Structures are given as C-alpha cells and as structure tokens.
C-alpha cells in the first residue's frame, strides 16, 4: 500500500464534531469576557453590581448556545471561529451601548432595543442556514437578485422613505423603520458573483461592452441611487465590492487601476457638487478649522481616544457621551476611551480573524461561484469595518456607516448576521465535500 492509501479516512460526521467543540469552547470564553465587561461597566458607573446581572447572563447564554446548537444541527462542519468572533463583537458592542447615555433610562432603552435586534439578527442567521441548504442554488436567481438589490436601494426615494441626519436611507412602514440598503448589498454581492462566473473567463482575454453591460448597469444604478440618497458610505462599499470581484474574476490588475481612477474622479465630482461631501472632506483635512460644526465629531473622538491611552479609563469611567452619535458612528472611539489601545486592538484583531477566515474559505473553494461569493461577502464585512474605523482615526474621511456587529442598529446587525451565515454555509459545504471525497 502507498502512503496515500495508508492515510486514515475521516468521515464527514466525525470531522464535523471537532470544529463544534472548538466553537463551544470559544463561546464559553467569550461569555465570560462579556459578562465580566458588563459587570465592570456597572461598577465603573455606580460602584455596584448591576441588579439585572442574572437576567443578562441568562439572556446572553441562551442566545449564544442557541445559535451554537443551530450551527451544530445545520452546518456542523463550518469554520469554528467565525461565529465566536461575531458574538464577541456583538457582546462587547452591547456592553458599550448599555453603558452609554449616562442616565439609567437612556442606557436601558438603547440596551433593550439592541438586545432585541441581537436576537433578531441571530434568528436571521439561523433562518439563513435553514433556508439555504445549498449555496450554489442561489446562482440561478442572479438577475432576480440584481433587480431586487436595486429595488431595495431605491425604496427610500419613494414616499415611504425617511430622511435622517441628512441621508435618505430609511424606510418607514407603520411602526417599523429599517434600512433596505443593508440587505441590498447582500443581493448585489450574490448577483455580481454569479454573473462573473460566466463573464469572468471572457473578460480575462478581452473586454467587450456587451459582456460588461448587465453588471455595469447594476453597478451604475446602485451607486447612482445611493448618491441621490446621500448614502456615500454605502456607495463606496458597493464600488469596492464591484472592483474587488472584477479583479478576482478576471485576474487582471487593470481593474484595480481603473477602480482607483474612477474613485478619484468620482470623489472630485462629489466634492464639487455635494456640499455635505465638501464639508466632510474639509473636516477630515482640518477639523480644527471649524471645531463647533463640521469638525466637532472628529475632534471629540480624537480627544476620547487620546484620553484612553494604552489601557483605557476603565469601563464606565470615561465620558464618551461627549461625541455625537457615539453609539452608532463613533462607538469605536468610545471603546478607545474606556478600553484603550488594548481594547481597540482586540476589536481590530477580531475583524482580522473574520476576514482571514473568509478569505481562507475563498481560497479553498473549488467552484468559481463559491470562490467569488466568499470574496464578496468578506469584502462587505472587511471594507465596512475599515471605512468606519479609518474614519474615526482620520485615515479617511468619515462616511457615517456602522461598525459591523458592534454599533447600535437593527438593519445592519441583521444583514451582517446573514452575511456570516452564508460564509458558514460555504465553509460547511467545503469541509463536507472534502471529507466525502477522501472516502
């Protein structure tokens, strides 16, 4: 017998047990971290253990282990670190949101809403695993997904749309308010990935307008709608998604150069024709020129992170409420103030682990659609995290999008959990297919 023939065969059922054991251990450690952080935040504010520490522990453990059991049932062989890292970000974000506001009523209201959205997001995660048993089945709905994505983006332009803080990205239907653009990004990622499976090989050798027409029309329409809605952060995200997938599908670095040129040209045009873009760029370059208006948020966030230093002021001991919209756009600054460089580095490392796991899924994919989809979904999470963290520390102009899994908000949290579920499904299919192939 050869060395290959003597190698033991691992059955898919047995291989699926190992990642879930790793995942369970990580979830248990994360639960300890989150509960400890919740208690420390209360001690820092009122010098007393929170009265609801028991219900909080039961709620958090219930959600964490419910989603673990769901993964064990529906995607048992999936990557074991994706879900724990997302739960860590979600848990620490919840602790900061519960701590923000200063007064009990404000803090408890935000915390109650975020706890509900966390449960809804985990429910969306489980529902995605159940409703999408085979990821490649989504490719046959490519044009429906493309049209659906554009329709979702355009909904806020209808009478049901609501403008909040200068951006018309919300839809209000009765008592329900949500951002349809968060779910449109997922639909567009699926459309781009499925279309480029066929068009990518053609575009490797030649570039013809008829091959680019469908995907180009979808990209122009989606970015154009978001510009009309003044949602420049999301338009930047979809633009990056388009360029990255074109680069991966065609294996031509030309697309990176074209994308960079188009980005610079689009930024120059937006600077000339949109006042809010000009104000944000001016505030980025020199926030102290207008410290009471366009530069106020950036200046306060800079002071907050500087106050945190290496280890932070301590949970509940800082004053992050000085920063406007701290629970959404600037929660990274609040973490920097109370948890210091150590806390922000931990958040950054959690995102890097998620991105690395997503790219590993893409590298191991054997089918073009799965490979492109894994890259696209990872790009959505990675670029979004970079945009908001880079804006807070003034690497790039601030765009006003949320930090995935961490910031307060329902639509973004649910959509990010759906993205995570799709990556878990891709990972599960890879591992079970590989294990089956070795039998």
The DSSP bridge partners found for residue 173 are 176
What is the distance, to the nearest Å, from the Cα of residue 420 to the centroid of all Cα atoms in its chain?
A: 9
Instruction: Using pLDDT thresholds of 50, 70 and 90, give the confidence band for residue 206.
Output: low
State the pLDDT at residue 354. Answer: 96
Radius of gyration of the chain measured on its C-alpha atoms: 22
Q: Whole-prediction pTM value?
A: 0.90
Helices 232-250 + 368-392 axis angle, to 10: 140
pLDDT level of residue 98 (50, 70, 90 thresholds): confident
Residue 238 pLDDT class (50, 70, 90 cuts)? confident
> Using CA atoms, how far apart are residues 280 and 278, in angstroms rounded to an integer?
6
Percent of the chain scoring above 70 in pLDDT: 84
Per-residue confidence (pLDDT) for residue 351, from 0 to 100? 96
Neighbours of 304 (CB within 10 A): 26
Percent of the chain residues past pLDDT 90, beyond the cut: 35
Tell which residue, 377, 369, 371, has the closest CA to residue 418.
Answer: 377
């Amino acid at each position: 017998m050869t060395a290959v023939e003597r190698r033991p065969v691992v059955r898919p059922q047995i291989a699926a047990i190992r990642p879930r054991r790793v995942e369970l251990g990580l979830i248990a450690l994360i639960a300890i971290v989150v509960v400890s952080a919740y208690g420390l935040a209360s001690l820092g504010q009122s010098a007393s253990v929170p009265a609801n520490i028991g219900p909080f522990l039961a709620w958090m453990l219930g959600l964490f282990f419910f989603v673990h059991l769901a993964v064990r049932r529906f995607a048992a062989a999936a990557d074991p670190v994706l879900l724990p890292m997302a739960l860590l970000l979600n848990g620490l974000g919840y602790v900061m949101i519960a701590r923000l506001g200063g007064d009990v009523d404000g803090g408890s209201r935000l915390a109650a809403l975020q706890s509900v959205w966390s449960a809804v997001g985990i429910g969306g995660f489980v529902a995605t695993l159940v409703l999408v048993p085979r990821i490649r089945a989504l490719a046959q709905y490519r044009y429906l997904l493309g049209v659906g994505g554009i329709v979702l983006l355009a909904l806020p332009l209808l009478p049901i749309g609501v403008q909040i803080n200068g951006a018309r990205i919300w839809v209000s239907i009765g008592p329900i308010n949500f951002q349809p653009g968060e779910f449109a990004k997922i639909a567009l990622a699926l459309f781009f990935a499925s279309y480029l499976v066929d068009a990518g090989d053609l575009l490797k050798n030649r570039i013809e307008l008829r091959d680019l027409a469908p995907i180009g029309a979808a990209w122009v329409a989606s970015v154009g709608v978001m510009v009309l809605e003044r949602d420049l952060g999301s338009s930047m995200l979809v633009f990056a998604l388009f360029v990255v997938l074109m680069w991966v599908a065609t294996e031509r670095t030309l697309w990176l150069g074209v994308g960079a040129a188009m980005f610079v040209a689009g930024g120059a045009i937006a600077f000339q024709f949109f006042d809010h873009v000009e104000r944000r760029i001016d505030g980025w370059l020199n926030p102290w020129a207008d410290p009471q208006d366009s530069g106020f948020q950036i200046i306060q966030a800079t002071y907050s992170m500087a106050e945190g230093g290496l280890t932070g002021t301590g949970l509940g001991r800082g004053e992050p409420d000085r920063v406007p919209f701290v629970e959404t756009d600037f929660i990274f600054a609040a973490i920097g103030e109370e948890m210091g460089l150590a806390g922000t580095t931990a958040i950054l490392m959690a995102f890097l682990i998620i991105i690395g796991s997503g790219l590993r899924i893409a590298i191991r994919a054997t089918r073009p659609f799965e490979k492109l989809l894994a890259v696209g979904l990872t790009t959505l999470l990675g670029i979004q995290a970079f945009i908001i963290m880079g804006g807070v520390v003034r690497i790039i102009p601030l765009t006003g999008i949320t930090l995935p899994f961490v910031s307060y908000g329902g639509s973004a949290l649910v959509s990010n959990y759906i993205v995570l579920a799709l990556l878990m499904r891709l990972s599960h299919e890879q591992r079970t297919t590989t294990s089956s192939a070795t039998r």
